[in-house]
Amino acid sequence: MLSLSSICNEIKGCKKCDLHFSRKTAVCGVGYESASVMVIGEAPGSNEDQTGIPFVGRSGRLLDKMLMDTNMPRESVYISNAVRCRPKVGRAPKITEIRKCSPFLKDELNIIGPRFIIPMGNSALKSLGFVLKTDFGRVSEAWKKIYRINDMFIFPQFHPAAILRNPKLFHTMKDRFDLIRNFREDFENNKSWDYLNEKYGIIKIS
């Protein structure tokens, strides 16, 4: 039977692409199995490669702050990545690497069934696109939008590493997380679809 632990075992033994040659530790998703919120990052960095845990370095501390400030503490969400092994320093995951890793994300989504998904960075958005058979484009084009696919709401977001490189984007990230919090509150308070669509401009994808 498929479970998060069986997915993790498969990730740890994965050799589908060349990233397994340079990794120290493959990084599985972590968090609450019945989480309504799922965060998707891009790829492990050096800290994640050492520990096997996603978002534990500077980017992770920034993410933790945003989650805590918007009533989504880390222990209440599920956190995963587009690819599970660290790419060489200074490069983003390749499309082929993202595609080969995307079945792991698909299996996690099927088990957890999150209502709200926050893909952070272009690789995360691309991986989610492979799973949902949708081209979301780049984060720089999609970050202001809210997408609805079936019963899921998707909030594209810049990756925390981009915020650390360009602190001017900090308030952009903060405002976006505030919007996610407000949307969740409205949704969980049973606001009507007409109200949600008018207030947030949801883009429905069939």
**What pLDDT shows up at residue 91?**
84
Closest CA to 144 of 201, 194, 188, 182: 201
Helix/strand/coil for 109:
helix
Backbone angles phi, psi at 117, to 5 degrees: -120, 130
128-144 pLDDT, tens digit each: 999 999 999 999 999 99
Contact between residue 108 and residue 50 where contact means Cβ atoms under 8 Å apart: no
pLDDT at residue 90 greater than cutoff 80: no
141-188 pLDDT, tens digit each: 999 999 999 989 999 999 999 999 999 889 999 999 999 999 999 999
Beta strands in 13-164 (DSSP E): 30-31, 37-41, 78-81, 116-119, 147-149, 152-154
Side-chain-side CA neighbours of 204 within 13 Å: the count stands at: 8
Helix/strand/coil for 33:
coil
Q: Where are the domains of the chain?
A: 17-205
Domain spanning 17-205: CATH 2.60.120.10: no
Closest CA to 83 of 141, 117, 122, 137: 122
93-141 pLDDT, tens digit each: 999 999 999 999 999 999 999 999 999 999 999 999 999 999 999 999 9
pTM of the model: 0.96
How many other β-carbons are positioned within 10 Å of the β-carbon of residue 17? Answer: 18
